[in-house]
Amino acid sequence: MKVFQILFLVVLIIPFAEIYLLLQVGSIIGALPTIFLVVFTAALGAWLLRMQGFATFRRFQENLAQGVIPAYEMIEGPIILLGGLLLLTPGFITDILGFICLIPPLRKKLAQYVIENRLIQAGGPFQQEKTAEKNILEGEFHKDE
């Protein structure tokens, strides 16, 4: 399957799973405790996003000041942002995924996995342009009349 097909399935399936799980939890503990739990995880997620974001940014600046490439911090930044977004969306599945992204040891393992398996290319889209330039022949053109 292609990446967009998998992403489409995830975007389609997750909301149905979230609604089902919210209904199940609501039938066990009640509607108000379920709503409180969803709001509490969103507030906790916003607080964790702020704390972990500032800590990662501070480590990023310290590494730059010492002349060290902040590779983990550059990977952890988007992971923290994704974790915060997942915690702000209502539901328990996204909350679990969001907490995985915001708990420092788990986030470090996730960033290490991304770096070791080279899931992100260094250089990004600009690197592709440079490889395409190798096929260009330069020269001069004069039109004789």
DSSP symbols for 53-83? HHHHHHHHHHHHHHT---HHHHHHHHHHHHH
- H helices of the chain, where? 3-29, 31-66, 71-88, 92-102, 104-116, 125-132
Q: Which residue has the tokens 């770096």?
A: 115
Pairwise CA distance, residues 140 & 145, whole Å: 16
Q: How many CA atoms lie within 13 A of 145 on its CB side?
A: 0
Q: What's the angle, vertex CA 6, arms to CA 4 and CA 18, rounded to 5? A: 120
For the stretch 31-61, pLDDT in tens is: 999 999 999 988 988 898 899 999 999 999 9
The pLDDT score that the predictor gives to residue 132 is 53
Q: Are 75 and 114 in contact, with CB atoms under 8 Å apart?
A: yes
Residues in the chain: 145
Model confidence at 116, in pLDDT bands (50, 70, 90)? confident
Is pLDDT above 60 for 123? no
Provide the whole-model pTM. 0.72
Model confidence at 111, in pLDDT bands (50, 70, 90)? confident
Determine the residue type at 32.
L
The pLDDT score that the predictor gives to residue 51 is 92
Find the range with the poorest average confidence among 13-22, 65-74, 95-104, 110-119. 110-119
Torsion sign across C-alpha atoms 105, 109, 115, 121: negative
